């Protein structure tokens, strides 16, 4: 794994920021090691993105997970993703000496730019810039960096894995569809009708019609920020990106997800790989969970009736990442080494 090394002046600036880490010491329940948190910012093209980095050790090279949030202007590690990150990442990974890095999308929080004018490939480039920044702090092992994304962030994680394999050793796509934006619209609209008692076949027909109408409207009259974003990303489909992934990637799906049907995702993967899912892919569906991996029934989105976050999901995802960082797979083989060789040989 290699990271882009910045010019000495920029590197000096990065190091200066991190000499102040001890000021940001924080505590996480259940963790014995001291944790250090620092507000960060870095450049990606013409934009400056702001975020946070949390680590337990500044004396050596440690693994890193870079998290990529979902869609819209409200998705941030500071707000709606705070609880998700604490439960699924911080409470387990920090205790294992794994650093975490979050940052706001363009136009969210202090980050400059406009989220609705940013396509998925620009979001992936921002993730690559975040990784370069982390590498230049001097504390991160460039051979042990994983990107993890949820929902739309799962799509971005797939792109990073396909287009920036030299920067990461693994990727996690949580509730990130393997089908495109248009089909995800159909998925969403179909769930709305099914949850109102409409027959699934009729619901699907109506959902396709509504999705087609939606795309026609946003192409001609993108009046709101959400519509402008949809116009920009509407043609995206991750299939080609998925086919270009050579490093270890974990796809997780929620059994009762109203936004991303696991069965549709599996149909795509089986269509791409009729002879079998590639050995570097791990695919897992968790029954009885919703889009955010709460214990919930289908159609719980409107009722708000959902339980706690799934401990099974947390254990599975964190243990998978730890195995990638230690280089040990279920079969006892060195996953990182094997997959790096495969990529270089292609």
- The full set of domain ranges for the chain reads 8-179+237-345, 181-235
Q: Lowest mean pLDDT of 101-105, 196-200, 214-218, 297-301, name the range.
A: 297-301
Residues forming a β-bridge with 55: 36
What number does CATH give the domain 8-179+237-345? 3.40.50.1820
| Distances from the Cα of 310 to the Cα of 24, 179, 250, 314, 316, angstroms | 30, 25, 17, 7, 10
Crossing angle between the packed helical segments 200-220 and 225-233, to the nearest 10 degrees: 100
Determine contact, residues 158/173, Cβ cutoff 8 Å.
yes
Determine contact, residues 92/314, Cβ cutoff 8 Å.
yes
Q: What average pLDDT does range 204-216 have in this prediction?
A: 98
Q: How far apart are CA 231 and CA 214, in angstroms?
A: 10
Q: H helices of 100-238, where?
A: 120-135, 152-163, 181-194, 200-220, 225-233
pLDDT at 30: 43
Residue % of the chain over a pLDDT of 70: 84
Q: Are strands 99-103 and 62-68 parallel, antiparallel or unpaired?
A: parallel
Long-range pairs of 15-24 with CB within 8 A, sequence gap ≥ 24: 15/137, 15/138, 18/58, 18/137, 18/138, 18/139, 21/55, 21/58
Per-residue confidence at 6, pLDDT binned at 50, 70, 90? Answer: low
Residue 7 has pLDDT above 90, yes or no: no
Helix (H) or strand (E) holding 174: strand 170-174
**DSSP assignment, residue 7?**
P
> What is the Cα 185 distance to its own chain's centre?
19
Q: How far apart are CA 298 and CA 287, in angstroms?
A: 10
Strand order, beta sheet including 35-44: 25-26, 35-44, 47-55, 99-103, 62-68, 140-150, 170-174, 249-254, 281-286
DSSP for 10-29, written as a single string: HHHHHHHHHTTGGGGEE--T
Q: What average pLDDT does range 294-307 have in this prediction?
A: 87
pLDDT per position as a tens digit, 56-99: 866 678 999 999 999 988 899 999 999 999 999 999 999 999 99
């Amino acid at each position: 794994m290699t990271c882009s090394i910045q010019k000495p002046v920029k590197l000096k600036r990065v190091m200066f920021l991190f000499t102040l880490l001890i000021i940001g010491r924080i505590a996480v329940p259940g963790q014995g090691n001291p944790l250090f948190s620092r507000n960060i910012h870095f450049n990606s093209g013409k934009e400056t993105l702001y975020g946070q980095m949390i680590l337990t050790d500044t004396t050596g090279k440690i693994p890193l997970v870079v998290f990529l949030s979902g869609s819209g202007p409200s998705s941030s590690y500071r707000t709606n993703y705070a609880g998700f990150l604490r439960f699924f990442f911080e409470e387990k990974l920090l205790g294992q000496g794994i650093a975490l890095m979050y940052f706001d999308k363009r136009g969210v929080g202090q980050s400059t730019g406009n989220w609705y004018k940013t396509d998925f490939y620009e979001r992936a480039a921002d993730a690559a810039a975040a990784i370069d920044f982390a590498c230049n702090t001097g504390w991160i092992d460039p051979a042990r960096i994983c990107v993890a994304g949820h929902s739309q962030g799962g799509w971005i994680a797939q792109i990073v894995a396909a287009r920036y394999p030299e920067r990461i050793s693994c990727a996690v796509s949580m509730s990130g569809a393997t089908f495109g934006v248009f089909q995800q619209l159909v998925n969403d609209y179909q769930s709305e009708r099914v949850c109102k008692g409409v027959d699934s076949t009729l619901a699907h027909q109506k959902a396709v019609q509504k999705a087609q109408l939606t795309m026609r409207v946003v192409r001609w009259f993108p009046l709101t920020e959400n519509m402008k974003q949809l116009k920009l990303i509407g043609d995206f489909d991750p299939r080609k990106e998925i086919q270009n992934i050579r490093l270890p990637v974990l796809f997780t799906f929620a059994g009762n997800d109203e936004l991303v049907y696991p069965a549709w995702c599996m149909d795509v993967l089986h269509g791409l790989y009729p002879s079998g899912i590639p050995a570097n892919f791990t695919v897992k569906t968790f029954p009885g969970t919703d889009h955010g991996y709460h214990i919930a029934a289908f159609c719980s989105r409107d009722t708000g009736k959902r339980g706690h976050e799934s401990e099974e999901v947390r254990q599975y995802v964190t243990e998978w990442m730890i195995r990638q960082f230690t280089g040990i797979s279920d079969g006892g083989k060195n996953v990182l080494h094997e997959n790096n060789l495969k990529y270089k040989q292609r």
